[in-house]
Amino acid sequence: MYIFEKRVAEIAEYVRKNRLDGAFIFSDEYRAGFTTYFSDYKPINVIEESPQGIFITPEGHVTLFLGAINAQSAAKVSWIKDIRNFSTLSEYFKILKEKKGEPLLIGLSGQELLPVKYFRLLQGWLVGNDYIDMDEKLTAMRAVKEQEEIELAKYAAKIGDMSLKACVEQMKNREVTEIDLCATAEYVMKSNGCDLSCATVLSSGMNTEVPTWRPTHKKIGNGEAVIIDVAPAYKGYATDVAITVINGKATKEQEDILKASRDTVIRSIESLRPGEPACRIYEMFLMNAKKNHVEQFFEPYAKGLRAVGHSIGLDCVERPNLDDDASFIMEPGMTLATKFDLHGMAWGGLRIEAVMLVEEDRCSSLNRYLYEL
């Protein structure tokens, strides 16, 4: 429980330093990282839509808001004792305002996820009907992991590797469809105590022309490229690892491009150092793409959100983003999913992805199966 109390104490200090009346942290059911980071509870979106909200006062008192059904489960899981129904949020802020005698000045994190209907519950109680944006503060806290978090990420990476290996072995033994391999990968994840941090991407043949794909009943043909991209999470902490293999016999071109792409990711991770700007990842990937004469298949897919990767932790995809503008400095404790994509080739496309841990004096890959291919 200490790690959660430590996080709350840091936010409470931020609240006092900035003379706020409190911090409200919000996440929806699908990207729960902002709030799970404090509550140790991830809402289940089955019977109800259940966002999660946390309010931290200057004194460090914590109130957790959930849907009515999830609130019952959280009472058995979360360390937080003050758990309330989300429908009481407006009344909660009304009481805070009445105690203060004037509108509240609060910090808000998760603004991109906050639906209008929930913001309207807060709006009437705030100074100028507005808030102080705290996303940058929370992003900075979550970007650097503590050792307990890193150990969970290492286990998730191990299970991710196991699921990839199981898929490759199954392709060797019998004819399979995309959805067969998806089931194999997800069975390995679930049977080893992991949840899915995002959907499994599994595509074959010309379905690999595009960066994302829901697996279908298409049979995987001989000589076809197969992208397997899995993201198991262990006790909340995710890995995001992808390989591309050829089912059966590969052409010389396929072998050469796949080997060069794997080497691009592996050698780049091994060459990076803490203290460097994160845009070095993009620069190294582009340099290798040009060296191997595949930049026309790389550059269109290496722009914008998740260009060549992203931070990873309680959410599969977290900020900061990795692209040519990623100016943040890589610090020890950061876990970054590094992703090399090529699409639009005559035989389809590929993805190679691994989670990189920034250590004190080097960077290393938490995913090891790439080294076996």
* Torsion, CA 214, CA 179, CA 245, CA 322, rounded to 10: 30
Task: Give me the residue spans of the domains in the chain.
Answer: 2-142, 147-372
Q: What is the pLDDT of residues 351-366, one digit of tens each?
A: 999 999 999 999 999 9
CATH 3.40.350.10 at 2-142, yes or no: yes
Structure confidence at residue 368 (pLDDT):
96
- 91: Cβ contacts below 8 Å, ≥ 6 apart: none
Q: What is the pLDDT of residues 83-106, one digit of tens each?
A: 999 889 889 988 998 999 988 899
- Count of helix runs (H) and strand runs (E) in the chain: 11, 17
Provide the residue count of the chain: 373
Scanning the structure block, which residue is given the tokens 């043909």? 221
Structure confidence at residue 140 (pLDDT):
94
The per-residue DSSP string of 278-337 comes to THHHHHHHHHHHHHTT-HHHHGGGSSSTTSSEEE-SSSSSEEEE-STT--SBP-TTBEEE
- CB atoms < 10 A from the CB of 292, how many? 18
Would the pTM of this model clear 0.95, i.e. be above it?
A: no
User: Which parts of the chain sit beneath pLDDT 50?
Assistant: none
Reduce the DSSP state of residue 224 to 3 states and report it: coil
Q: Which two tokens stand for residue 225?
A: 């490229």
Supply the CATH classification number for the domain 147-372.
Answer: 3.90.230.10
Structure confidence at residue 129 (pLDDT):
65
